[in-house]
Amino acid sequence: MNLTLPRDFHESSTRLAGSDRIAHVHVFEDFAAAEFHWRWLEREHAAATPYQQYDLLELWQRNVGQRAGYMPFIVVGCDTAGQPLFLWPFGKVKKGLVRTLQFLGANHVNFNFGLWRRDAAATITAMDIRKTFRQATDDGREFDLILLRNQPKIWGDVTNPFALLPHSQSPNNGRRMDLSAPGTELINQQLSGSMRRKLRAKQRRLMELPNYRYFRASAPGEVDGFLNEFFKLKSMHFSALGLKNVFEQPGVEPFVRKACHRGLANGRPLIEVHVLEADGQMLAMFAGTSSGGRFTTMFNTYTLSQHARQSPGVVLLQHMISDLADRGFKSFDLGIGEAKYKAVFCKQPELLFDTLLPLTSLGGMAAFVLTTASSLKRVVKQNPTFWAGVQAFRRRAFGKRCRTINFSGEDS
């Protein structure tokens, strides 16, 4: 590559010959070097999911990514005026012998989309994207496999340009709902009469408990107190299923805590915490991030006490969705994966796809193995009979009936 800055500045730049759309491609190997372009696209309301916010991914990389072996490899395409057309927040990481290029955030984010200036997303071609990959990866010599998972086909009103490349369906899809009415009216529209009656009965029982309330955590002490309880509950939930606790991975807890505190003082935390509590305990919690009018949940938990029989998580969702709608949010989702409670509220499918582009023979073998495993996983998860069998086996094997949702919102 022809460098425009010394390598010490962690940035390289190449002009793409024959492309009227992309005049230059830059590769940044740290966040600070890419921040100007990133912030510019955010100010210009580029198409992106909340998970591609600079502040969120920078915190993730500093606390989680670098400990897991991820190195930033942020690709920016600019026009002839030097203004960014897109930014792909990638990281390079070695999985066994395979050198992969992936979205930063790993399994701690739900959706991957990149940041796209809307006119660029509408006009870019598959050839443009392939040329950019070739230039950024030194004609494939730096990587074995480009592995881009959990990409929405459409985000808002923008079709994902990566869908122009060969791709396959992700094992899981997402679900969303449009917040197109005031809160109370919206809940009445979404839920059947029988479901509303059931939930009202459950809520009445919870409201009989001392100090019942729903609220958004707005003070540092509240956030820390609820997170302390959250991490304890998640540990018990995962232990009951015999699953690895993703929140115990190095750096994850500090990342979550810092993201919940970032922006809290001005009322716009990176991760917003919603809580239902009573009887001196947290009954349920949902936490999520937002941008561009979309709120997306990242993680949740619920009590293991006898109050769990009253479905406090679902009761909390009613309050939370009403609050978001009344505050002017336009769209809401409960992350990826299948779960009955998700279908109750979020009925609109969010189709996801994976892109696997091998660059070497080793990458080709890895792509074959990953694609085969992904297809099998999708068959199991999308077949209610198969998936029920897997869950029944888990309950018999580990002796406790307990569901849980992992960090990224996927039903494990």
Q: Give residue-wise pLDDT tens across range 272-297.
A: 999 999 988 999 999 999 999 999 99
pLDDT tops 90 at residue 399: no
What 3-state DSSP class applies to 19?
coil
Paired tokens of 157: 């009103």
pLDDT tops 70 at residue 393: no
What is the pLDDT, as a whole number, of residue 59? 98
What is the pLDDT, as a whole number, of residue 243? 83
Task: Please check whether residue 23 is in contact with residue 268, taking contact to mean a CB–CB distance below 8 angstroms.
Answer: no
Task: Report the relative pairing of strands 168-169 and 71-78 from DSSP bridges.
Answer: unpaired
pLDDT tops 90 at residue 266: yes
CATH homologous superfamily for 176-350?
Gcn5-related N-acetyltransferase (GNAT) (3.40.630.30)
Which pLDDT band holds residue 370 (cuts at 50, 70, 90)?
A: confident
- Give residue 108's identity as a one-letter amino acid code: H
Strand partners, 103: 90
What is the pLDDT, as a whole number, of residue 44? 93
Q: Which element (helix H / strand E) includes 261?
A: helix 252-261
CATH number of the structural domain 7-168+354-365: 3.40.630
pLDDT tops 70 at residue 152: yes
Q: Do domains 7-168+354-365 and 176-350 have the same CATH topology?
A: yes
Residue 294 has phi, psi (to 5 degrees) of -110, 130
Q: What is the mean pLDDT of the chain?
A: 88
pLDDT tops 50 at residue 307: yes
Instruction: Single out the residue of 81, 87, 52, 121 nearest to residue 292, CA to CA.
Output: 52
pLDDT tops 70 at residue 411: no
What is the pLDDT, as a whole number, of residue 6? 31
Q: Using alpha carbons, list the distances in angstroms from residue 216 to 130, 226, 320.
A: 44, 11, 9
What is the pLDDT, as a whole number, of residue 406? 44
Q: Using alpha carbons, list the distances in angstroms from residue 201 to 310, 316, 411.
A: 9, 14, 27
pTM above 0.85, yes or no: yes
What is the pLDDT, as a whole number, of residue 236? 92
Paired tokens of 75: 């690709």
Q: Where are the domains of the chain?
A: 7-168+354-365, 176-350
The one-character DSSP state at 212 is -
Task: Please check whether residue 60 is in contact with residue 104, taking contact to mean a CB–CB distance below 8 angstroms.
Answer: yes
| 159 vs 6, more confident | 159
Tell me the per-residue pLDDT of 317-351, one tens digit each, with 9 for 90 and over.
Answer: 999 999 999 999 999 999 998 788 888 899 898 99
What is the pLDDT, as a whole number, of residue 375? 75
Residue identified by tokens 């005026």 is 81
Return d(Cα 187, Cα 196) in angstroms, integer: 9
pLDDT tops 50 at residue 2: no
